[in-house]
A and B are shown apart, each in its own frame.
Chain A
Amino acid sequence: MAKILIPTPLRQYAGKHDAVEMSGATVGEVLNSLTSHYADLRRHLYNDEGKLRSFVNVYVNDEDIRYLDKEATALKDGDTVSIVPSIAGGSAGIAAPPLTLNKDEILRYSRHLIMPEVGMEGQLKLKAAKVALIGTGGLGAPLGMYLAAAGIGRIGLVDFDVVDFTNLQRQVIHGTKDVGRKKLDSAAETMLDINPHIEIDRFETALSSENALQILKDYDFVVDGTDNFPTRYLVNDACVLLGKVNVYGSIFRFEGQATVFAYPGGPCYRCLYPEPPPPGLVPSCAEGGVLGILPGTIGLIQATETVKLILGIGEPLVGRLMLYDALAMRFRELKLRRNPECPVCGDHPTIRELIDYQQFCGIPNQPHEPVAVEGDIDPVEVKAKMDRGDSFVLIDVREPHEYQICRIPNAKLIPLGDLPKRVNELDSADEIVAHCKSGVRSAKAVDFLKQAGFRKVRNMKGGILAWSDKVDPSVPKY
């Protein structure tokens, strides 16, 4: 005789007993006696073919019979047989009930729903869509806000940066109160405030060759809001390898570009730019500046294309590079074609996995500590020379509009570009210190002057930014 423990929900079919004694030499025999005795129990344990249902596990004492002799497992007197369901599941496998909009959502999306091009069908496509947004900065700000407002069901944000004051001139997703916060949190908060019906995945990381495929694989579309070449090539290659469309935008000063890359049959970023520019040739927004509104215009072109692609309406910006000039207020279009020789999306691709994009773009992987170059001088030392009344000339090689923002007293303004023609204003007998904003341009000025025969010329390390940090905090940083 073996004792069979009856699971709670099945007791109603087993005379309300929580345990019954049954005879039989094997598990199969005992269960057979049980279900003969309590016929209603049978269908709960066995399917129509007379096999134990897939979710039924049977234990003899503490052993699962699957690891013994299954239903032929022999029983001795006093053994306890337990019937234990296997419980598993999970959200994957698409919602069994189709997506719907609730009353609040219907009201919210009313202006979409009344257009036949969107309608209920389109709004549900937006809700079902998953979009990865790389970067929550200049382009990411309008993108994130409008994609959220449009009702994109799931938006993945990738950013590792922290909000600072210089962002606020254009990154309207963040506010003054957010300075010092993670951009990811600040952006997600704004987006969820605009639309609490969406879901946001946060990836607090720099997109890299190690994580890009893993992060992007679960999204339908990728929107590139990054500001540097290595990441653009990375996003492009990852999209091509994963077969995802890449909605691209870039900005500089008063001009922007936008297009859709890696659309089936269309070109990719490498078809347009097979090689990155030499490092340092194209200034970043931090170096060259940007009209604060510009990323709004370009980001919204990207948002428009994303929504069109999801809805499957209109003519996507594929094979066309949109160029925007804010000063002329003019849009132009360049035709782009997929390059059959393209190393990543061409007919015979040679790039089949992600590579080292820092190296590809000529950027050293480990930015080594700046070595004290002979001829460097610390701002503190410059100040000490001033205080001692040492005789020397301080030249400021920035641009006049930068000089208007802030200056060091008694510095002589000679913009780097003017230096060759104004070198005669300097005396090679004088001791000269050059400075700029952060020390890069003044290093070039020092090189130039040395080649011109100046001997006593030094570069103020870290520029006026370091001066503000170390000497005079009243000097504004920009």
Chain B
Amino acid sequence: MIRVEKQAWEAMVSHGESTFPKECCGVMLGSDGVVAEAIALPNVYTGPQEDFFVMDPADLNRVDREARKRGLDILGVYHSHPNCDAYFSKRDLANSCSWFSYVVLSIKNGRFDHANSYRPDFDQKEAPQEELIYG
């Protein structure tokens, strides 16, 4: 289960809406399974970003170090699916990292629609859904 506090949740939703119709991505910081802060990261994918995102590992490294200093952990990552549902796609699975919760935000016609969270396995074969509580 992952819980996202209101302020962090609103930041994620508005990030997803602002990059629409492109995918957004970011990191969720907090502790004990509760996300207190969302950090928007640039989507550095050089191709069409409507259905793909890539985080720069250097950004991730930097965020991780800054979070450590403030006593926060990276609990998960989020990204948006513009104009489609918040499923965990083949592409998501093929690029997944089993360490994190993956929150997927469905943004339809520029507005938040719904969201789900997933926990991919080591081998990138399955990503069971987990309970997501937000707001």
Contacts and interface: CB of A to CB of B under 8 A. Distances in A.
Interface in B34-76: 45, 51-55, 57-58, 60-61, 64-65, 67-68, 73-75
B57 to A, nearest CB: 5
B20 to A, nearest CB: 11
A321 B87 CA distance: 42
A188 B91 CA distance: 30
Interface in A64-119: 64, 82, 84-97
A87 B23 CA distance: 13
Contact of B52 (A7, A10, A88): A88
Contacts of B51: 90-92
Given A84-B60, A86-B97, A97-B87, A91 B108 contact: no
Contact of A87 (B55, B67, B90, B127): B55
A91 B77 contact: no
B61 A59 contact: yes
B24 to A, nearest CB: 11
B19 interface: no
Contacts of A88: 45, 52-55, 95
Contacts of A5: 64-65, 68
B82 A91 contact: yes
A341 interface: no
B64 A89 contact: no
A439 B74 CA distance: 71
A9 B99 contact: yes
Interface residues of A, number: 37
A9 B60 CA distance: 14
Interface string B7-45: 000000000000001010100000000000000000001
A201 interface: yes
Contacts of A199: 83-84, 108-109
Given A9-B99, A90-B52, A95 B57 contact: no
A272 B68 CA distance: 70
Given A55-B96, A89-B53, A90-B53, A84 B89 contact: no
A94 B84 CA distance: 10
A92 B95 CA distance: 12
B85 interface: yes
A87 B52 CA distance: 11
A181 interface: no
Q: Which of B57, B67, B85, B89 has the most CB of A within 10 A?
A: B57
B58 A96 contact: no
**Which 6 A-B residue pairings sit nearest by Cβ, starting from the closest?**
A93-B90, A90-B52, A8-B73, A89-B92, A92-B51, A93-B91
Given A7-B99, A8-B75, A93-B89, 11 more contacts: A8-B74, A53-B122, A55-B124, A87-B54, A87-B95, A89-B52, A90-B51, A91-B82, A94-B89, A94-B90, A199-B108
18 contacts: A47-B122, A54-B124, A62-B58, A62-B61, A84-B57, A84-B60, A85-B99, A86-B95, A86-B97, A87-B54, A88-B53, A90-B23, A90-B53, A96-B92, A97-B87, A188-B109, A199-B83, A201-B21
